Amino acid sequence: MYGVIIAGIGPGNPDYLTMEVKKAIEEAEHIIAFGRAGESLKSLEKEFIKVKRVDEVIDYIGRHKDALLLASGDPCFYGITDFLKAKSIAIERILPGISSFQYMMTKLKKSWQGAQFLSLHGREEDMERAKNNRLSIILTDDKNTPSQISQRLKALGAKGRIYAGYNLSYDDERIIEAEIGENFEDISPLAVVVVEDEMD
């Protein structure tokens, strides 16, 4: 079977690429990458087809069915895999990568078993889910920022600690800790938020 290979590139820094993904990049002739992914991996000295929108990916895959698509984080965790399947794109293989939340939890030195996962990246979720769980991990976007999430949780009566990780694994990485309800300096639209709810 021939089809696109989807490779998870982890949180962004090339230091977090798996050996399998590095080998796939070295061997691939056609490599598709969204803007930031291509920029972060330029030290690999490979030519990337840089795209900005998912429809550009589909168009390119239609012309080069043996393409390697670089996906941030793990492509099977709120990634591009389900979208491509819904468009009937043939997928040959998926190479896993470290997800941004895995990276964030190691930085916080916290276990994450039993965590509630929510993605507000391009979608909406009921924040009651985060309020009713001791540990929640949330992916953000430019509308659902860490500061906005903090305020929404406070309005629901949640109490506890909240952490926001920005530009994870990059040189300008910032991780901020606060009480639920406090405002954050929203440094980047893409962040990982960890909520520790002091449940009754």
Whether residue 139 is found in the same domain as residue 175: yes
State the Cα–Cα distance between residues 45 and 29, nearest whole angstrom: 13
Kindly state whether residues 117 and 145 are assigned to the same domain: yes
What CATH number does residue 91 fall under?
3.40.1010.10
Overall average pLDDT of the 114-140 stretch:
86
Domain boundary among 78, 98, 118: 98
| C-alpha triplet 10, 76, 93: angle, nearest 5° | 90
- Tokens describing residue 94: 């998926």
Beta carbons within 10 angstroms of residue 107's beta carbon? 16
Residues 87 and 113 in one domain: no
Q: Which of 72, 98, 124 is the last residue of a domain?
A: 98
- Do 87 and 134 lie in a common domain? no
Distance of CA 89 to the CA centre of its chain: 21
Considering the domain architecture, whether residues 93 and 114 belong to the same structural domain is answered as no
Instruction: Identify whether residues 129 and 167 lie together within a single domain.
Output: yes
Mean of the per-residue pLDDT values for the chain?
89
Question: Does residue 6 have a pLDDT over 60?
Answer: yes
Q: With a cut of 70, say whether residue 8 has pLDDT above it.
A: yes
C-beta neighbour count of 63 within 10 angstroms? 8
Alpha-carbon distance of 136 to 141, in angstroms, equals 16
Q: How many structural domains comprise the chain?
A: 2
Handedness of CA 151, 157, 159, 164 (dihedral sign): negative
Structural domain boundaries enclosing 79? 4-98
* 94 and 32 within one domain: yes
The answer to whether residues 87 and 106 belong to one domain is no
Question: What pLDDT sits at residue 87?
Answer: 87
The whole-angstrom separation of Cα 24 and Cα 7 is 8
Q: Is the dihedral of CA 119, 80, 47, 23 positive or negative?
A: positive
- Using the structure block, give the residue that is written with the tokens 């009480």: 179
**Co-location of 107 and 184 in the same domain:** yes
Q: 94 and 134, same structural domain?
A: no
pLDDT higher than 90, residue 179? yes
What is the C-alpha separation between 183 and 150, in angstroms, rounded?
7
What tokens does 166 get? 């920005």
Task: Assess whether 31 and 69 both reside in one domain.
Answer: yes
Domain end residue (candidates: 69, 98, 127):
98
Asked whether the predicted pLDDT for residue 2 surpasses 70, the reply is no
CATH number at residue 152: 3.30.950.10
3-state secondary structure of 162: strand
pLDDT band at 94 (very low <50, low <70, confident <90, very high): very high
Same domain, 55 and 136: no
